[in-house]
């Protein structure tokens, strides 16, 4: 059974369209769990109408405790072995659920899968388009594992999660962080894979009230803190950071706060090379990579300029460094 988990708050304008899109894709024995998280509009009435006309729809209230709490509340009544996510203002396209379940069934090492997505709405900024293009470029489990410390690699409402994997890592967590990115980080850390159906089977609506833009738990600083906490737990040796600018120094500070202290920086700027940042020397590329080889140190790529990450990846690969073993990209 597939359980589609859809939390909502004040979504009367879009809930019926969103729910109908996923109901049309569900099997007769699947279920749609609608979680009212403190709505003050007619959304709950819409949910009640859907439940009255379709036995697959179940409703529950979570009392305005927030997205993570609503997901936990809804999950508590989900009966399926596959937990598909959906949001109240998006559109799930035909074939999505079957394609995701097929991918999960074919590979028991996968804990979660998603699909490629397409944006719709008004005033979609270039930044979110680049982010979506980046997400869509990741398909295999290796792609997602390599990119897990860059950004959240999947669009949460487009995902389907193996219930056994979700339970194994403790389900959804509440806190001052993005509950979805936290889950993907925990799944990968526990050895589960994340992959993507290489087709657009989900439309993600962009508007000014997206939780992505309004919730402080999803701010850039909150995402950086979360990433640093998880990254620090995976570091089991000395490490250097490629990037001695503001971005790399900030990452070094956040890792230090989580018990992982940088040994050296690598940079191409002659004004930085030879100096110290956070008491660690800034080395040239040749010097830094030689030290990494000598010491068996991990290289963490932390460059903020658009496109620079792939250039650094190419340089490291050309010198025999293997991503995931010898270096990781963070942000």
What confidence tens digit (pLDDT) does each residue in 82-118 have? 999 999 999 999 999 999 999 999 999 999 999 999 9
Phi, psi angles (nearest 5°) of residue 303: -120, 135
Q: In this structure, are 202 and 256 located in the same domain?
A: no
Asked if 241 and 260 count as a contact pair (C-beta separation under 8 A), the reply is no
| List of the chain residues with pLDDT < 70 | 208-217
Q: In this structure, are 128 and 211 located in the same domain?
A: yes
pTM beyond 0.85: yes
Q: In this structure, are 37 and 108 located in the same domain?
A: yes
User: Which three-class secondary structure state does DSSP give residue 122?
Assistant: coil
pLDDT value of residue 324: 95
Q: In this structure, are 307 and 317 located in the same domain?
A: yes
Q: In this structure, are 65 and 29 located in the same domain?
A: yes
pLDDT value of residue 277: 94
Write the DSSP assignment of 199-227 as a string of letters.
EEEEEEEE-TT-HHHH-GGGSHHHHHHHH
With a CB cutoff of 8 Å and minimum separation 6, the contacts of 268 are 284, 285
Q: In this structure, are 39 and 68 located in the same domain?
A: yes
pLDDT value of residue 306: 81
pLDDT value of residue 233: 96
Q: In this structure, are 88 and 60 located in the same domain?
A: yes
What is the spatial distance between Cα 242 and Cα 148, in angstroms, rounded to a whole number?
A: 18
Asked if 194 and 142 count as a contact pair (C-beta separation under 8 A), the reply is no
Q: Domain total for the chain?
A: 2
- Where a domain ends, among 218, 244, 274? 218
pLDDT value of residue 122: 82
Show the domain range for 318: 220-329
pLDDT value of residue 230: 97
What's the farthest any 2 CA atoms get from each other in the chain? 71
Q: In this structure, are 32 and 43 located in the same domain?
A: yes
Describe the strand order of the beta sheet including 91-92 as a list of residue ranges: 57-61, 31-36, 2-8, 82-85, 160-162, 110-121, 193-206, 91-92
Q: In this structure, are 167 and 283 located in the same domain?
A: no
CATH number of the domain that residue 86 is part of: 3.90.550.10
- Where a domain ends, among 188, 218, 248? 218
pLDDT value of residue 151: 95
- Where a domain ends, among 173, 193, 218? 218
pLDDT value of residue 304: 83
Asked if 240 and 300 count as a contact pair (C-beta separation under 8 A), the reply is yes
């Amino acid at each position: 059974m597939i359980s589609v988990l859809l939390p909502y708050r004040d979504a009367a304008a879009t809930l019926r369209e969103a729910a109908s899109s996923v109901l049309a894709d569900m099997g007769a024995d699947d279920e749609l769990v609608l979680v009212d998280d403190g709505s003050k509009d007619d959304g709950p009435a819409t949910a009640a109408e859907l439940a009255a006309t379709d036995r697959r729809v179940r409703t529950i209230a979570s009392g305005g405790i927030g997205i993570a709490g609503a997901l936990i509340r809804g999950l508590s009544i989900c009966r399926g072995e596959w937990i598909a996510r959906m949001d109240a203002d998006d559109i799930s396209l035909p074939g999505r659920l079957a394609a995701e379940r097929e991918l999960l069934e074919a590979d028991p090492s996968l804990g979660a899968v998603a699909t490629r997505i397409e944006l719709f709405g008004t005033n979609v900024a270039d930044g979110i388009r680049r982010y979506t293009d980046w997400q869509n470029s990741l398909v295999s489990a290796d792609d997602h594992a390599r990119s897990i410390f860059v950004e959240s690699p999947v669009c949460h409402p487009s995902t389907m999660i193996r219930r056994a994997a979700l339970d194994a890592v403790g389900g959804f967590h509440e806190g001052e962080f993005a509950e979805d990115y936290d889950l993907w980080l925990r799944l990968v850390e526990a050895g589960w894979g994340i992959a993507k159906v290489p087709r657009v089977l989900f439309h993600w609506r962009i508007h000014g009230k997206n939780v992505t833009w309004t919730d402080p738990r999803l701010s850039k600083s909150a995402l950086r803190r979360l990433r640093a906490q998880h990254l620090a737990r995976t570091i089991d040796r000395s490490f250097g950071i490629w990037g001695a600018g503001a971005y790399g120094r900030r990452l070094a500070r956040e890792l230090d706060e989580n018990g992982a202290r940088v040994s050296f920086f690598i940079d191409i700027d002659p004004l930085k090379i030879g100096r110290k940042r956070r008491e660690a020397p800034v080395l040239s590329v040749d010097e830094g990579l030689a030290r990494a080889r000598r010491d068996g140190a991990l290289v963490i790529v932390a460059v903020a300029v658009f496109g620079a990450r792939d250039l650094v990846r190419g340089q490291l690969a050309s010198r025999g460094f293997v991503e995931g073993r010898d270096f990781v990209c963070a942000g």
